[in-house]
Amino acid sequence: MIEQPREFTIPAGRARMWRMQAGERVTITQTEGHQVGDFIAFNAADLTEFLSTSHTRSCLRTLRIGRGHSLYTNRREPIVEIVEDTVGIHDILAAACDPYRYQRDFGVEDHRSCRMNFVEALAELDIPDWRVPDPVNLFQNTPVQPDWSYSSAASVAKAGDYVTLLTRMDLIAACSACPQDLAPTNAGHLSDLRVRLH
């Protein structure tokens, strides 16, 4: 088996997959700033258990996550914990962008999307697009208004900002450097993300 690199780049608009053991850490870092990283994870021993944003919201009773928060699976087990976070603004409301979003809202065909990025990155696991769980959108700025509506605003993350996650179980993770360039999400400019396993 080929050993995976301990540091690598997620190219702008693409996704990468990697494996981790319980107790390891992963740091995801901005290269230029304002880049959202859609993050998903599965229990390596059982792919039917995965990081779930709806269960995380239910367990935490909050819409805002940051340092000190554990993120939970669909079986309400902690899968990762945010142990370092220089931004403090992330999203657990929005679904991954997908072909339907670009077709319906922008009239664009064949635009790259986080959902299909995950299908590509997870190809060896044979996970179809409908099976990809909703992501934790690292660095995504989704302001919630007093009337409970919410919108997509530009990420406030700057070059060098990062999040470090501590794994609570052996897992398979993937992150997409979101290709959304038609909404404010990535401030109109896509950039790489850096990943370090430690």
pLDDT tens track for 24-52:
999 999 999 999 999 999 999 999 999 99
Query: Is the pLDDT at 2 greater than 70, yes or no?
Result: no
Query: Is the pLDDT at 155 greater than 90, yes or no?
Result: yes
Q: Averaged over 132-138, what is the pLDDT?
A: 98
- For residue 121, being part of any structural domain is answered with yes
In the structure, how many helices (H) and strands (E) does the chain have? 3, 11
| Contact (Cβ atoms closer than 8 angstroms) between residue 40 and residue 172 | no
- For residue 40, being part of any structural domain is answered with yes
Q: Averaged over 132-147, what is the pLDDT?
A: 96
- For residue 160, being part of any structural domain is answered with yes
Looking at the chain, the whole-number percentage of residues with pLDDT higher than 90 is: 96
User: Which residues span the domain enclosing 184?
Assistant: 7-144+153-197
Rounded Cα distance, 168 and 184, in Å:
33
Query: Is the pLDDT at 96 greater than 90, yes or no?
Result: yes
Rounded Cα distance, 192 and 181, in Å:
14
- For residue 2, being part of any structural domain is answered with no
Q: Averaged over 119-136, what is the pLDDT?
A: 96
Considering its fold, how many domains does the chain have in total? 1
- For residue 64, being part of any structural domain is answered with yes
Model confidence at 5, in pLDDT bands (50, 70, 90)?
A: confident
- For residue 1, being part of any structural domain is answered with no
Q: Averaged over 101-114, what is the pLDDT?
A: 96
Average pLDDT, rounded, for the chain: 96
Query: Is the pLDDT at 4 greater than 90, yes or no?
Result: no
